[in-house]
Amino acid sequence: MRVFYTQKLDDILGRIELSDWRQRLQKPLGLIEHTLSDNWKSCALGERMRREGKDIDKVKDLTPEAVKLGFAFATAVKKRDSNEALEILEQIEKLPTIWRHPEESLV
């Protein structure tokens, strides 16, 4: 059996979409989202980690850009600014990697 696919399909399959947080940002942000955004493992970066099947021991495992976006995302959620949080979420999705040393297994 042969499998044919297009570059567009490859892009879709390779794209990381943080759908849990996208869904949360569609509604007014409240205390639950505020609390979740305070923790690296439950914020938008945490969702990306779960989708990649990895975990962190310390924040230094992440790239400086990922850390910066993580703090910015948490701040936007605390301000209850869904639009800003969504913009930051999209930037997190577009990062080629969030890992400082992607070749190392952090599972």
Mention every residue, 6+ apart, whose C-beta is less than 8 A from residue 90. none
In a domain, 101, yes or no: no
In a domain, 21, yes or no: yes
> How many domains does the chain fold into?
1
33-92: pLDDT as tens digits: 888 888 888 889 988 988 888 888 888 899 999 999 999 999 999 999 999 999 999 999
In a domain, 1, yes or no: no
Determine the structural domain holding residue 45 and report its residue range: 7-94
- The CA-CA-CA angle for residues 32, 75, 73, to 5°, reads 85
Phi then psi dihedrals of residue 99, to 5 deg = -95, 135
In a domain, 105, yes or no: no
In a domain, 39, yes or no: yes
Question: What predicted TM-score, i.e. pTM, was given to this entire model?
Answer: 0.76
In a domain, 58, yes or no: yes
In a domain, 106, yes or no: no
What's the pLDDT band for 14 if we cut at 50, 70, 90? Answer: low
